[in-house]
Homo-oligomer: A and B are copies of this chain.
Amino acid sequence: MKINYKKELEDAARKMILVHRPKTLIQLIVRMIVHKVKVRHAGILLFNQKLNSYILTVSRGRMGLKIPSGFIRIDPDNAMIRFFTNKHNYQYIDGGALVYSKIGKILKNRRSLSKHKDLKETLVALRNQMNLFEAVVCIPSYFQDKLLGILFLGKKISGRHFHRDELDFFIALAHDVAMAIRNAQLFEELQEQIERNKRMFLETTKALASTIDAKDHYTHGHTERVTQVSLAITKKLIITNRIDVDSAFLDDLNIAALLHDIGKIGVPENILNKKGELNDEERRKINEHPLIGAGIIEPIEDLKRAIDGVKYHHEHFDGTGYPEGLKGNRIPLIAAIIAVTDSYDAMTTNRPYRPALNKKEAVEEIRKFSGVQFHPLVVKALVELYEEGGL
């Protein structure tokens, strides 16, 4: 069966664009080559920046091939790499591919050998290497004069030589692969950067929030626990399809939970740490903390939803909460979640005016106020978490 190379190439390119993990991409390509073009095996040597070496990905193909395990990782001073990184040797790579039989011809050409001292030695080493890999064709891929990788092909299963159009196909393919891999690497780097930034953001916010928390002697670890339980409840609500939120919701919730009590920094320490009951004026002062907290992060546009979480986490489902007396579903979900976990954590820790409840008692207390103080969906998820031992 004759292969429609153009179609294969287009298919390959189409697949490549969808794959942004270099390793997956290479496996895909190698498998495709072995499968479609019916060679015994194929492999790709790909440069790995971190390791400063070339890593081998091989398809065993139909016939199998034993690569010595030490050759999975190849140094830049390996003969194969050295041959293809030396610009003098570009002249021997016909239209982009080096065929095994060509090596013998170069070795017979005394004039070539006399011009470059190392050429003979490199060629002999290269030939040995190709023998070891049972490779009959090598196709290098470059990116900005840097050798990105080498595609090598075993013999065809039919035993025949590779035709020029087949080689051209592989050269174009190797080029597409190099382009795709370069892109995939850049993507990985960007994704890693995003992850790193996100982690740094969350950890810094956590550190600063805990510092501010530390001013309130009775709430040690409160913020962290509220954040953990809030995330667990929300994951349950998402998994069970009881809420429909966008992908940034968990990030926003994370920040809102970390910062929900940040406004307490504006409340005098003697009120926060008072052992006796609070009078009306002191109570009023404490009740300002959601508004103060929202005010601190108000200028940050990207935190719009997190600000809602901070501002409304003391609203009650029946409209009797503060600061605005919002009712039912007018209370943003992000705040309704924190309201439940904030109360649950307060109940399960010792406070100046009463000892801690145990988990069971606290969950029972919260359930009692479902639909009154708390959002029923959120309460339900808390109860389920408790029953599964997730609290």
Is A17's beta carbon under 8 Å from chain B?
yes
Is A368's beta carbon under 8 Å from chain B?
no
Is A201's beta carbon under 8 Å from chain B?
yes
Is A6's beta carbon under 8 Å from chain B?
yes
Give Cα A201 to B199, complex, Å. 10
B203 lies within 8 A of A265 (CB): no
Could you give, for residues 1-41 of chain A, a 1 whenever the CB lies within 8 Å of some chain B CB and a 0 otherwise?
00000100110011011100000000000000000000000
Is A159's beta carbon under 8 Å from chain B?
no
Which of the 9-residue segments A119-127, A176-184, A236-244, A334-342 touches chain B? A176-184
Say whether, besides A13-B175, A303-B204, A197 and B199 are in contact (CB < 8 Å): no
Which of B6, B179, B186, B198 is the one whose CB lies under 8 Å from A197? B198
Residues of chain B within 8 A of A265, CB atoms compared: 211-212, 214-215
Which of B9, B183, B299 is the one whose CB lies under 8 Å from A183? B183
B203 lies within 8 A of A205 (CB): no
A208 lies within 8 A of B296 (CB): yes
Within 8 A of B (CB), among A112-131: none
Is A150's beta carbon under 8 Å from chain B?
no
Is A166's beta carbon under 8 Å from chain B?
no
Residues of chain B within 8 A of A255, CB atoms compared: 204
Is A71's beta carbon under 8 Å from chain B?
no
Say whether, besides A168-B6, A201-B200, A179 and B17 are in contact (CB < 8 Å): yes
Q: By DSSP majority rule, is chain A's interface helix, strand, loop, or mixed?
A: helix
A175 lies within 8 A of B10 (CB): yes
Give A215 Cβ to nearest chain B Cβ, in Å.
7
Is A386's beta carbon under 8 Å from chain B?
no
Minimal Cβ-Cβ distance residue in B for A7: B95
Residues of chain B within 8 A of A196, CB atoms compared: 302
Minimal Cβ-Cβ distance residue in B for A184: B183
Say whether, besides A186-B187, A193-B194, A13 and B176 are in contact (CB < 8 Å): yes
Minimal Cβ-Cβ distance residue in B for A269: B269
Give Cα A126 to B2, complex, Å. 37
Within 8 A of B (CB), among A22-80: none
Minimal Cβ-Cβ distance residue in B for A255: B204
Give Cα A215 to B211, complex, Å. 13
Residues of chain B within 8 A of A17, CB atoms compared: 143, 179, 182-183
Is A209's beta carbon under 8 Å from chain B?
yes
Is A93's beta carbon under 8 Å from chain B?
no
Residues of chain B within 8 A of A143, CB atoms compared: 17
Is A232's beta carbon under 8 Å from chain B?
no
Is A253's beta carbon under 8 Å from chain B?
no
Is A245's beta carbon under 8 Å from chain B?
no
Give Cα A176 to B214, complex, Å. 57
B183 lies within 8 A of A296 (CB): no
Is A157's beta carbon under 8 Å from chain B?
no
Residues of chain B within 8 A of A199, CB atoms compared: 302
Minimal Cβ-Cβ distance residue in B for A300: B203
Give Cα A255 to B205, complex, Å. 12
Give Cα A121 to B201, complex, Å. 56
Which of B14, B16, B211, B302 is the one whose CB lies under 8 Å from A212? B211
Say whether, besides A193-B194, A198-B197, A215-B265, A209 and B208 are in contact (CB < 8 Å): yes
Give A165 Cβ to nearest chain B Cβ, in Å.
11
Minimal Cβ-Cβ distance residue in B for A178: B17
Give Cα A125 to B215, complex, Å. 72
- 15 new A-B contacts, CB < 8 A, other than A203-B302, A205-B208, A207-B297, are A9-B172, A18-B144, A186-B187, A187-B187, A190-B190, A193-B194, A194-B197, A197-B198, A200-B300, A203-B299, A204-B204, A207-B299, A208-B209, A212-B265, A214-B265
